[in-house]
Amino acid sequence: KQEQSKQTTVRHDRNVQSQTRRVIDEKVKEMKDQLTRAKVYLNFAPPNSNSQLVKELKLRIKEVERAMGESKHSNLSKSALQRMKSMDATLLKASCVYTDCSAMAGKLRAMTYNAEEQVRTQKKEVTFLVQLAGRTTPKGLYCLSMRLTAEYFALQPEERNFPNQHKLHDPNLYHFAVFSDNVLACAVVVSSTISSSMESGRIIFHVVTDSLNLPAISMWFLLNPPGKATIQVQSIDTFEWLSTKYGTTLQKQNSHDPRYTSALNHLRFYLPDVFPMLNKILLLDHDVVVQRDVTGLWNVNMKGKVNGAVETCQEGEPSFRQMDMFINFSDPMVAKRFGVKTCTWAFGMNMFDLHEWRRRNLTGLYHNYLQLGNKRPLWKAGSLPLGWVTFYNQTVALDRRWHVLGLGYDSGVGRGNIERAAVIHYDGFMKPWLDIGIEKYKDYWRKHVKYEHAYLQQCNIHR
């Protein structure tokens, strides 16, 4: 009972607090308005005027500004109210001197214009800088990779092997694939999956990275084995079949955007070749967190289709995508083959039926489209438009609760939606491991990061 009364008091206090806050906010708004008016009047005065009124206005501005600053963290002081009063008096005086209404409008317009201009240029700046931030690596993450790499090479070759490798090709187990060059992101995908799974002993993780990151990522999982689950780390650079069978090396395109340059990003179209012994695999992007047991996906009826994905064609939602946003429908071949209204879907969490994929030779189809796209501008860069055309008519919709998108660019994703979702996806620039990540979503990711690990501590990676 005491507890209850305590709670009531707390609630009451909070009410009072928020009420005072509101009063202060009101006052602050009033003060701002006073300042604007005072500044306009100052604008009317002839240059270098030192009249009594000008002096007074300047003094009042200073006073009110100070009062405004103080009222931010403390309660409104009496003197603040006093200052507002004096300001009011001065403004009244000024309004008697300067009465020209349309001139006033002009001044105010000029002030607004200045601010508008600033907003315009700053928005441009922000866009540029956010993209720039996407092309940089936090120092802590870099440090972590470097330390792990050095550690890996200090191991004897026989110490570099993972246990349970006989399970890797068993088609009766739950196989997950992650393609990534980011050790921390990989670690979160794996550990979040394991911690939310009911039967981790039947889970096999296939991490594919490049030769640069293989040592660091392997070392991480050697130091932090994923419970009962099995893990495999491979390098894309050892996939010789890429050049022998397809005559391609997935060479990097000359673009600054990492999403387009990464060969790992395009490896998804070769899944049947990466895993020749498997029939089904769940492909996860490295910017996801798994929050529920997802083995239920293996029981979803794929209706003979190849790709199980959540759809992104609900108009009005932030995730809304339409075919013609990335695909050029003015091309007759495109217009003939695809419907512009066809529902779009997302990568991030995809169930692939590799058996059906092989039967329909979709990798071959992908290759044809890739080559066509190299000859003329059919679609934008990146794997998504190519995915849409490759898996056209081969995609089955999954319930949206399986996979919630937008945590990397949209600050309006509902909390309920996020917490109900089996997989949440930080698609967009604002990855949770970057400083520009959206703060309120970071905790869902952070809780799977081993901050207490010695290497993270050494590299100054903190919560």
Partner 1 sequence: MKGSSYTLPAKRRWRGLVIAVLGLVFLSMLVPLIFLLGLHNSFHSGAGYTTEQQSSASNGFRVYDQHDGGSTRNQSERDQSTHVDDLIKRLGPTLSKDFRRNSVKEAENKTIGFPIPTDVLKPHPKTHNTRTRGTVEVVKYMKGDDESEKSCEVKFGSYCLWRQEHREKTKDFMVKKLKDQLYVARAYYPSVAKLPAHDKLSHELKQNIQEFERILGETTTDTDLPPQIEKKLSKMEATIARAKSFPVDYSNVDKKLRQLVDLTEDEANFHMKQSAFLYQLAVQTMPKSLQCLSMRLTVEYFRSSSLDLELSLAEKYLNPALHHYVIFSNNVLASSVVINSTVMHAKESGNQVFHVLTDGQNYFAMKLWFFRNTYKEATVQVLNIEDLNLKDHDNTTLLHLSLPEEFRVSFRGVDKRSMIPIKTEYISVFSHSHYLLPKIFRTLDKVVVLDDDIIVQRDLSALWSHDMEGKVNGAVQFCTVRLSQLKNYLGENNFDGNSCAWMTGLNIVDLVRWRERDLTETFQMLVQEQLSMGEGLSEAVSLRASLLTFQGLVHALDDAWVLSGLGHDYGLDIQGIRKAAVLHFNGNMKPWLELGIPKYRGYWRKFLNPENQFLSDCNVNP
Task: Enumerate residues 297-326 that contact partner 1 by CB under 8 A.
Answer: none
Binding positions for partner 1, 344-403, rule CB under 8 A = none
Which stretch in 6-14, 135-143, 389-397, 414-422 sits in contact with partner 1 by CB under 8 A?
135-143
Q: Read off the tokens for 76.
A: 């409104």
Minimum Å gap between C-beta 351 and partner 1 is 31
Q: Which of 116, 170, 419, 443 binds partner 1 (CB under 8 A)?
A: 116
Q: Does 143 bind partner 1 (CB under 8 A)?
A: yes
Q: Which of 20, 82, 89, 106 binds partner 1 (CB under 8 A)?
A: 106
Q: Which of 69, 171, 276, 364 binds partner 1 (CB under 8 A)?
A: 69
Which stretch in 148-156, 162-170, 296-304, 360-368 sits in contact with partner 1 by CB under 8 A?
148-156
CA pair distance 345, 395, nearest whole angstrom: 8
Minimum Å gap between C-beta 62 and partner 1 is 7
Q: Does 436 bind partner 1 (CB under 8 A)?
A: yes
183/189 with CB nearer partner 1: 183
Q: Does 343 bind partner 1 (CB under 8 A)?
A: no
For residue 218, report the phi and psi dihedrals to the nearest 5 degrees.
Answer: -60, -45
26/170 with CB nearer partner 1: 26
Q: Which of 135, 245, 337, 401 binds partner 1 (CB under 8 A)?
A: 135
Which stretch in 66-74, 298-306, 343-351, 398-406 sits in contact with partner 1 by CB under 8 A?
66-74
CA pair distance 145, 150, nearest whole angstrom: 9
149/230 with CB nearer partner 1: 149
User: Sheet harboring 349-353: ordered strands across?
Assistant: 230-235, 203-209, 174-179, 280-284, 349-353, 307-309, 395-397
Cβ pair 130, 136 in contact under 8 A: no
2/48 with CB nearer partner 1: 48
Q: Read off the tokens for 258.
A: 């990492």
213/230 with CB nearer partner 1: 213
Burial 128-146 (b: 16+ CB within 10 A, else e): eeeeebbeeebebbebbbe
Q: Which of 23, 129, 300, 325 binds partner 1 (CB under 8 A)?
A: 129
Q: Map residues 226-265 to x or -, x wherever contact with partner 1 holds by CB under 8 A.
A: --------------------------x-----x--x----
Nearest to 30, CA basis, from 69, 61, 57, 68: 68
76/334 with CB nearer partner 1: 76
Q: Does 443 bind partner 1 (CB under 8 A)?
A: no
Q: Does 121 bind partner 1 (CB under 8 A)?
A: yes
Q: Does 170 bind partner 1 (CB under 8 A)?
A: no
102/172 with CB nearer partner 1: 102
Which stretch in 84-92, 109-117, 264-272, 382-390 sits in contact with partner 1 by CB under 8 A?
109-117
Cβ pair 326, 384 in contact under 8 A: yes
Nearest to 425, CA basis, from 409, 449, 446: 409
366/441 with CB nearer partner 1: 441
What does the DSSP assignment read for 171-228?
A: TTSEEEEEE-S-HHHHHHHHHHHHHH-S-GGGEEEEEEE-TTTHHHHHHHHHHS--TT
Q: Which of 18, 19, 33, 243 binds partner 1 (CB under 8 A)?
A: 33
Nearest to 232, CA basis, from 212, 211, 205, 214: 205
For residue 177, report the phi and psi dihedrals to the nearest 5 degrees.
Answer: -120, 135
For residue 404, report the phi and psi dihedrals to the nearest 5 degrees.
Answer: -105, 130
Sign of the Cα torsion 441, 447, 448, 452 reads: positive
- HSE, CB side, 13 Å, CA atoms: give it for residue 106: 7
Binding positions for partner 1, 262-281, rule CB under 8 A = none
For residue 30, report the phi and psi dihedrals to the nearest 5 degrees.
Answer: -60, -45
Nearest to 107, CA basis, from 53, 33, 29, 41: 41
Q: Which of 62, 85, 376, 401 binds partner 1 (CB under 8 A)?
A: 62
292/447 with CB nearer partner 1: 447
Binding positions for partner 1, 13-32, rule CB under 8 A = 25, 28-29, 32
Q: Does 414 bind partner 1 (CB under 8 A)?
A: no
CA pair distance 348, 357, nearest whole angstrom: 18
Q: Which of 8, 51, 77, 118 binds partner 1 (CB under 8 A)?
A: 118
Q: Does 153 bind partner 1 (CB under 8 A)?
A: yes
CA pair distance 295, 282, nearest whole angstrom: 9
Minimum Å gap between C-beta 425 and partner 1 is 19
> Facing residues of 283 across strands?
177, 350
Q: Map residues 72-91 to x or -, x wherever contact with partner 1 holds by CB under 8 A.
A: xx------------------
